[in-house]
Amino acid sequence: MIRQLLLATAIALLGAADARAQPTSAAPPFPPPGKLIDIGGWKLHLNCTGQAKPQQPTVILEAGIGDFSVEWGLVKPSVAKFARVCSYDRADDGWSDYGPSPRTMRQIVYELHTLLAKANERPPYVLVGHSYGGWLVRLYTATYPSEVSGMVLVEAGADDPIRVLGDGKPRHASDLVTGKTIPEPKTSGPVVESEIPAEVMSQLRGAALQFGPRANEPPRDKLPADAQRMRTWAYSQPKHWAQGFNPFEPEELAVLRAERAKTEFPYGDMPLIVLTRGISDSDGPDSKTLEKEHRDDHAAVAKLSRNGKLIVATHSGHHVQIDEPDLVIGAIREVVSK
C-alpha cells in the first residue's frame, strides 16, 4: 500500500485550527520558470525545455499529491538533453491559479490536455506519473489513447488503496464506491479565494501552519535550493491545501480498475516501465503484508502491456525521482527510445 498523505483528511483533523496566525499570501519567491497559460479563466504553469525532434515523443511529468513541478528538479535537466520535456503545476498549486471544484481526476486530465493543446505541445507523449500522478497519466491514456506512446509509472498509486475515514476504520477504495456519477470536467468557473467560506479557509490556513515547516523534510532536502524555496512558499499558501479532496475518488478508481479488466493487455505493446521502491514505507505488525501487496500491485500493472517491465529502486523510498533520479532518467530514456 502506498501511504499517500490525503490532504483532505489532514484538514478535517484541523477543524479547531487557529486562523489568527495567518500564513503569508505574498508572491512566490521568484517568477515562474515557464509560462502561465489561460485554459478557460484560470492559468496553469507549464515549463517545457529541451528540443522537440521529429518522430520523437514529448515527455510530460505529472507529480504526486502535495507535489508540483519543482519535484522533478533532479530529473528534468537530464531528460532535456535527449528529449522535449514538460513539467507543470496542477490548479491550486505552485505558480498556477485555483481551478474549478471538485478537483476530480477527470477534471485534472481535461486541464492537462487543454494546457498542452493551448501551448502547442503536440503529441505523442511519454507520460511520467509519480504516486497520485500515476493514476492521472493512466486516466489520460484511457481518455486520449491516440496521444500516448509510452508511460513511466514511479511509485504509482495502487488501484484499490486503503483509506482511513473519520471513524478510524481502514477500508479499501472499492468498499467506498456508491455509484454516484462522476461530473463532467468544467470548462469555466474557477474557485475564487475571497468566496471560500471562512470556516474552510480557517482549516486551509491551519493546515499550512501545521505542515508548512515540513515542506523540505527528507528526501526533499536533496532538491535544488530554488526548489526548496518554492516548496516552502507553496506550503504556506491555503490553495496548496485545497487540492487534496476529491469526493469522487472511489468512483474514479473503479473506472481505472474497469479499464484494467477489459483485456489482458489494455496497453497493447506500449512501452511501459513501472518503478517501485526498495525501501519500505510501511511500519507496524502488518508492514510485511502491506509491502508485499504494494510490490504485487506494481508487478501486475507492469503486465498490462506486452512491452512492460518492473524495476525495483533498491535505494529508494516513495520519491524515487529524488532518491535515485538516474534510475528515473534511464527509464524515461528507454521508453522514449522505443
- Read off φ and ψ for residue 34, nearest 5 degrees: -110, -145
CB count within 10 Å of CB 151 equals: 27
Cell of 238: 491555503
Q: How far does the chain reach from its first CA to its final CA, in angstroms?
A: 30
What whole-number percentage of the chain has pLDDT above 90? 77
Q: Average pLDDT of 212-223?
A: 95
Rg of the chain over CA atoms, in angstroms? 19
CATH class of the domain defined by 7-337: alpha beta
Residues 246-301: pLDDT tens digits? Answer: 899 999 999 999 988 889 999 999 999 999 999 987 776 667 888 899 999 999 99
Q: Where are the domains of the chain?
A: 7-337
Return the SS3 of 275.
strand
What whole-number percentage of the chain has pLDDT above 70? 91
Q: Is the pLDDT of residue 79 over 60?
A: yes
Q: Average pLDDT of 1-21?
A: 37
Q: Are 84 and 59 in contact (CB under 8 A)?
A: yes
Q: For the chain, how are helix, strand and coil distributed in percent, rounded to 5?
A: 40, 15, 45
More confident residue, 270 or 7: 270
- pTM for this entry: 0.92
Residue 45, beta-bridge partner list: 36, 89
- Provide the pLDDT confidence category of residue 244 given band limits of 50, 70 and 90: low
Q: Is the pLDDT of residue 11 over 90?
A: no
Residues 23-59: pLDDT tens digits? Answer: 445 789 999 999 999 999 999 999 999 999 998 999 9
